[in-house]
Amino acid sequence: MANSKRKSILNYLRDTTLTAITVAGGYSQDIKTVDRGIRPLDALADSKLPALFVGKTIEKRQNITRNQYQSFITVFVVGFVDGRAGLSPQEALDDLIGDTTKALETDRTLGGNAKWLEMKNVITDDGNLGPRAGFVMEVEVSYVTEGIIP
């Protein structure tokens, strides 16, 4: 069976968009961990940071026809870093937010799976996770199903 649009979008974020964040690709760092579902920060070894997770989603659907709908799926991308190369954790976090934004901006249709993508909000920790830091980015993706595969 073919993947649903939802699954294709979420896997594309994990497998293509976020894994593209490398120094060789023009970003400020190499992402060490990308996954669906969030792991606790204290369960991540330093060698696994920086890390990005495709976390919680909220999806709203609207019928177009009897077997087709438009969806607005809000995806929460969660990122964790530690201080590196003389940067404080908060400065490294700013770099990770910038890299994540750039990666999402590079392909707003997520390989043709989505109609559009928009970054809505970024929430950072209070600076109390030292020597690490974290953020949550709210990303809205719109897609339309085609036929009977949701």
**pLDDT single digits (tens) 5-56:** 899 999 999 999 999 999 999 999 999 999 999 998 889 999 999 999 999 9
Q: Is 136 within the bounds of a domain?
A: yes
- Helix, strand, coil: what percent of the chain each, to 5? 25, 40, 35
What pLDDT, on a 0 to 100 scale, did the predictor assign at position 20? 97
pLDDT of the residue at 147: 65
How many structural domains are present in the chain? Answer: 1
Look at residue 77 and give its three-state secondary structure. Answer: strand
In a domain, 149, yes or no: no
Element (DSSP H or E) covering residue 64 = strand 51-65
- Altogether, the residues listed in the chain come to a count of 150
Task: In whole angstroms, give the CA distance from residue 97 to residue 137.
Answer: 8
Q: Nearest-CA neighbor of 92 among 135, 36, 63?
A: 135
Q: Is residue 109 part of a domain?
A: yes
pTM attached to this predicted model:
0.91
User: Could you tell me whether strands 116-124 and 132-144 are parallel, antiparallel, or unpaired per DSSP bridges?
Assistant: antiparallel
In this structure, is residue 86 part of a structural domain?
Answer: yes
